[in-house]
Amino acid sequence: MQVNKYVFQSHGDERGQLVALEEFRDIPFRIKRVYYMYDTAPGVVRGKHAHKSLEQILVCIHGSCKIKLDNGYETKIVPLEKPYEGLYVANNMWREMYDFSDGAVLMVLASELYNEDDYIRDYDEFLKLVKKEHEN
Ligand code: T46
Protein backbone atom coordinates (compact mmCIF):
# COMPACT_ATOMS: atom_id res chain seq x y z
CA MET A 1 0.00 0.00 0.00
CA GLN A 2 1.35 3.40 -0.92
CA VAL A 3 1.29 6.02 1.83
CA ASN A 4 0.92 9.59 0.60
CA LYS A 5 2.58 11.85 3.11
CA TYR A 6 2.92 15.48 2.08
CA VAL A 7 5.66 17.76 3.36
CA PHE A 8 4.31 21.30 3.22
CA GLN A 9 6.45 24.36 2.75
CA SER A 10 7.09 26.08 6.07
CA HIS A 11 7.91 29.77 5.89
CA GLY A 12 10.36 30.35 8.68
CA ASP A 13 12.11 33.46 9.87
CA GLU A 14 13.31 34.81 13.18
CA ARG A 15 9.66 35.12 14.30
CA GLY A 16 8.91 31.43 13.85
CA GLN A 17 7.15 29.24 11.27
CA LEU A 18 4.06 29.59 9.09
CA VAL A 19 2.44 26.93 6.90
CA ALA A 20 -0.19 27.90 4.30
CA LEU A 21 -2.39 25.27 2.65
CA GLU A 22 -4.20 26.08 -0.59
CA GLU A 23 -6.67 23.86 -2.38
CA PHE A 24 -5.39 22.26 -5.61
CA ARG A 25 -1.91 23.61 -4.84
CA ASP A 26 -0.87 22.04 -1.53
CA ILE A 27 -4.04 19.98 -1.09
CA PRO A 28 -5.19 17.75 -3.98
CA PHE A 29 -8.90 18.62 -3.70
CA ARG A 30 -11.29 21.49 -3.04
CA ILE A 31 -11.38 22.02 0.75
CA LYS A 32 -15.04 22.02 1.80
CA ARG A 33 -14.58 21.43 5.50
CA VAL A 34 -11.96 21.78 8.23
CA TYR A 35 -12.28 20.13 11.63
CA TYR A 36 -9.88 19.28 14.40
CA MET A 37 -9.75 17.17 17.51
CA TYR A 38 -8.05 18.09 20.76
CA ASP A 39 -8.19 17.14 24.46
CA THR A 40 -8.10 13.51 23.33
CA ALA A 41 -8.28 11.23 26.37
CA PRO A 42 -5.25 8.96 27.02
CA GLY A 43 -5.41 5.55 25.37
CA VAL A 44 -8.30 6.49 23.14
CA VAL A 45 -8.73 5.19 19.56
CA ARG A 46 -10.77 7.41 17.23
CA GLY A 47 -12.01 6.75 13.72
CA LYS A 48 -12.63 3.02 13.16
CA HIS A 49 -14.52 3.63 9.97
CA ALA A 50 -14.03 4.23 6.25
CA HIS A 51 -15.65 6.65 3.82
CA LYS A 52 -17.35 5.86 0.54
CA SER A 53 -16.15 8.98 -1.24
CA LEU A 54 -14.53 11.44 1.19
CA GLU A 55 -10.86 12.35 0.73
CA GLN A 56 -8.94 13.99 3.53
CA ILE A 57 -5.56 15.34 4.61
CA LEU A 58 -4.66 14.86 8.27
CA VAL A 59 -2.19 17.25 9.91
CA CYS A 60 -1.13 16.93 13.52
CA ILE A 61 -0.57 20.64 14.07
CA HIS A 62 0.49 20.16 17.69
CA GLY A 63 1.98 17.12 19.40
CA SER A 64 1.85 13.73 17.74
CA CYS A 65 -0.41 10.78 17.02
CA LYS A 66 -0.44 7.63 14.91
CA ILE A 67 -2.75 6.76 12.04
CA LYS A 68 -3.48 3.17 11.11
CA LEU A 69 -4.58 2.79 7.50
CA ASP A 70 -6.18 -0.39 6.22
CA ASN A 71 -7.22 -0.85 2.58
CA GLY A 72 -8.76 -4.27 3.23
CA TYR A 73 -5.63 -6.08 2.08
CA GLU A 74 -2.78 -4.36 3.92
CA THR A 75 -2.34 -2.09 6.91
CA LYS A 76 0.20 0.67 7.48
CA ILE A 77 0.90 2.70 10.60
CA VAL A 78 1.89 6.28 9.93
CA PRO A 79 3.18 8.53 12.71
CA LEU A 80 2.25 12.20 12.42
CA GLU A 81 4.73 14.24 14.40
CA LYS A 82 5.35 17.47 12.51
CA PRO A 83 3.00 20.41 11.91
CA TYR A 84 4.25 20.64 8.31
CA GLU A 85 3.37 17.04 7.39
CA GLY A 86 0.03 15.93 5.98
CA LEU A 87 -1.26 12.41 5.45
CA TYR A 88 -3.59 11.88 2.50
CA VAL A 89 -6.40 9.44 3.31
CA ALA A 90 -8.39 8.29 0.30
CA ASN A 91 -11.91 6.96 0.24
CA ASN A 92 -12.42 3.23 0.89
CA MET A 93 -9.69 3.28 3.53
CA TRP A 94 -10.32 2.12 7.08
CA ARG A 95 -8.63 4.54 9.51
CA GLU A 96 -7.86 4.60 13.20
CA MET A 97 -6.19 7.45 15.08
CA TYR A 98 -4.47 6.66 18.37
CA ASP A 99 -1.41 7.28 20.57
CA PHE A 100 -2.25 10.97 20.87
CA SER A 101 0.40 12.82 22.85
CA ASP A 102 -0.65 15.10 25.64
CA GLY A 103 -2.09 18.28 24.09
CA ALA A 104 -2.11 16.89 20.53
CA VAL A 105 -4.29 18.68 17.98
CA LEU A 106 -5.19 16.75 14.83
CA MET A 107 -6.56 18.96 12.06
CA VAL A 108 -8.37 17.46 9.07
CA LEU A 109 -9.01 19.06 5.68
CA ALA A 110 -11.91 17.34 3.95
CA SER A 111 -13.15 17.25 0.35
CA GLU A 112 -16.85 17.14 1.32
CA LEU A 113 -19.24 18.52 3.88
CA TYR A 114 -20.18 16.29 6.81
CA ASN A 115 -22.43 13.47 5.66
CA GLU A 116 -23.20 10.51 7.92
CA ASP A 117 -24.34 8.48 4.85
CA ASP A 118 -20.76 8.50 3.56
CA TYR A 119 -19.47 6.53 6.60
CA ILE A 120 -18.87 2.77 6.61
CA ARG A 121 -18.76 1.91 10.29
CA ASP A 122 -18.94 -1.87 10.04
CA TYR A 123 -15.58 -3.53 9.29
CA ASP A 124 -17.11 -6.58 7.56
CA GLU A 125 -19.19 -4.32 5.35
CA PHE A 126 -16.00 -2.39 4.51
CA LEU A 127 -14.18 -5.60 3.55
CA LYS A 128 -17.08 -6.70 1.34
CA LEU A 129 -17.11 -3.33 -0.41
CA VAL A 130 -13.38 -3.23 -1.18
CA LYS A 131 -13.34 -6.86 -2.37
CA LYS A 132 -16.30 -6.11 -4.65
CA GLU A 133 -14.58 -3.00 -6.07
CA HIS A 134 -11.38 -5.05 -6.59
CA GLU A 135 -13.30 -7.63 -8.68
CA ASN A 136 -14.77 -4.94 -10.97
C1 T46 B 1 -12.49 10.80 9.89
C2 T46 B 1 -11.58 10.91 11.03
C3 T46 B 1 -10.16 11.20 10.63
C4 T46 B 1 -19.74 16.74 13.01
O5 T46 B 1 -20.81 17.21 13.45
N6 T46 B 1 -19.18 17.29 11.89
C7 T46 B 1 -18.01 16.82 11.38
O8 T46 B 1 -17.53 17.36 10.37
C9 T46 B 1 -17.38 15.70 12.03
C10 T46 B 1 -16.08 15.15 11.47
C11 T46 B 1 -17.96 15.18 13.14
N12 T46 B 1 -19.11 15.69 13.62
C13 T46 B 1 -19.69 15.11 14.83
C14 T46 B 1 -20.23 13.71 14.67
C15 T46 B 1 -19.98 13.09 16.02
O16 T46 B 1 -21.09 13.37 16.86
O17 T46 B 1 -18.66 15.03 15.82
C18 T46 B 1 -18.77 13.84 16.57
C19 T46 B 1 -17.49 13.04 16.55
O20 T46 B 1 -17.28 12.52 15.21
P21 T46 B 1 -16.63 11.09 14.93
O22 T46 B 1 -16.98 10.16 16.00
O23 T46 B 1 -16.99 10.71 13.53
O24 T46 B 1 -15.06 11.44 15.01
P25 T46 B 1 -13.80 10.51 14.69
O26 T46 B 1 -12.65 11.18 15.32
O27 T46 B 1 -14.03 9.10 15.02
O28 T46 B 1 -13.64 10.58 13.08
C29 T46 B 1 -13.36 11.81 12.42
C30 T46 B 1 -14.25 12.01 11.20
O31 T46 B 1 -15.63 11.83 11.56
C32 T46 B 1 -13.93 11.05 10.09
O33 T46 B 1 -14.56 11.48 8.90
O34 T46 B 1 -12.08 10.35 8.82
O35 T46 B 1 -12.00 11.87 12.01
The amino acid that residue 38 corresponds to is Y
DSSP annotation string for 47-87: EEEEESS--EEEEEEES-EEEEEE-SS-EEEEEE--TTEEE
For residue 36, what are the β-bridge partners? 107
68 lines ligand 1 (CB under 6 A): no
Q: Coil, strand or helix: which one is 14?
A: coil
The pair phi, psi for residue 116, each rounded to 5°, is: -60, -30
Question: Which of ligand 1's atoms lies nearest the C-alpha of 33?
Answer: 8
Per-residue pLDDT of the chain (136 residues; tens, 9 = 90+): 999 999 999 999 999 999 999 999 999 999 999 999 999 999 999 999 999 999 999 999 999 999 999 999 999 999 999 999 999 999 999 999 999 999 999 999 999 999 999 999 999 999 999 999 888 8
Name all domains of the chain by residue range, CATH numbers in brackets: 4-135 (2.60.120.10)
Q: Coil, strand or helix: which one is 109?
A: strand
Does the predicted TM-score (pTM) go above 0.95?
yes
Q: Which residue's C-alpha comes closest to atom 3 of ligand 1?
A: 47
Catalytic residue IDs: 49
**How many A from CA of 49 to the centre of ligand 1?**
10
Question: Which of ligand 1's atoms lies nearest the C-alpha of 54?
Answer: 33
108 lines ligand 1 (CB under 6 A): yes
